[in-house]
Amino acid sequence: MKTVHWPVPVATFAMSLLLAGCDQRPAASVEESATQSTASPAPLTTEKMSQQEGEASKTVTPVGTGLCAAQEEVLFSCQLENRKIASICGVENKAGTTVAQYRYGQSGETAELTWPEANSADRLKFASVPYSGGGEAQLHFRRGDTQYVVYSRVIRTNFAAGEPNDPSMEDGIFVRKGDRTIARHSCAGPDVRPIDYEKAKLYADNVGDDIVESEH
């Protein structure tokens, strides 16, 4: 079960709804099981043990801060279904201004994408909108003709009178080019930090309810 650290506004809202009402591989097929040897495995040598430990260290999932440094504010962070990490961190640029910075990549490695750069005056945009029995928050930016959108949403799934709302909570990112969504990844790791509304208002430009639509 993944641990979700909901910001206060979202956590309170999600709780009110409830009161109102690692990459796992598929099991081996019969054919595969039939071809596996039943002999006792050979004892691990020191070399093999070191090799296995090295492989295991590559799959360690960071918890809490994601790609943000310990001293930085975390506006959003999670491990995605593609095993990459998407984080939005509150940082100070070279002009001394506090801004939200998007980072995407692997833990312990140089980020594949960082936006904005430290010497840039660009800023992410923050938008939020209420739904019937839910709501959505987004932090997004444009890089050339490509738009990157990080989202956290709560959607009511049950409208039967007198029954619980059964809210569905989803976080992730999607990428648009022109009028098409060209990539989408949902958060799938054990530790999710949904968009923090209050921090987003401090570190990004508030554009009201101007959220970016995406095909599902």
Residues 4/167, Cβ–Cβ less than 8 Å: no
Query: How many CA atoms lie less than 13 Å away from 201 in the CB half-sphere?
Result: 7
Report d(CA 126, CA 210) in Å as an integer: 9
N residues, the chain: 216
Q: What is the pLDDT of residue 184?
A: 95
Contacts of 5 (CB under 8 A, 6+ apart): 64, 191, 192, 193, 194
Is a pLDDT exceeding 50 seen at residue 47?
no
The whole-number average pLDDT for the span 21-39 is 37
Can you give the pTM of this predicted structure? 0.68
Report d(CA 81, CA 67) in Å as an integer: 16
Domain ranges within the chain, ordered by starting residue: 3-19+60-205
Is a pLDDT exceeding 80 seen at residue 82?
yes
Which 3-state string (H, E, C) describes the chain?
CCEECCCHHHHHHHHHHHHHCCCCCCCCCHHHHHHCCCCCCCCCCHHHHHHHHHHHHCCCCCCCCCCCCCCCEEEEEEEECCCCEEEEEEEECCCCCEEEEEEEECCCCCCCEEECCCCCCCCCEEEEEEECCEEEEEEEEEECCEEEEEEEEEEECCCCCCCCCCEEEEEEEEEEECCEEEEEEEECCCEEECCCHHHHHHHCEECCCCCCCCCC
Tell me the pLDDT tens digit for each residue of 130-174: 987 789 999 999 999 999 999 999 876 676 777 776 777 899 999
Report d(CA 194, CA 14) in Å as an integer: 12
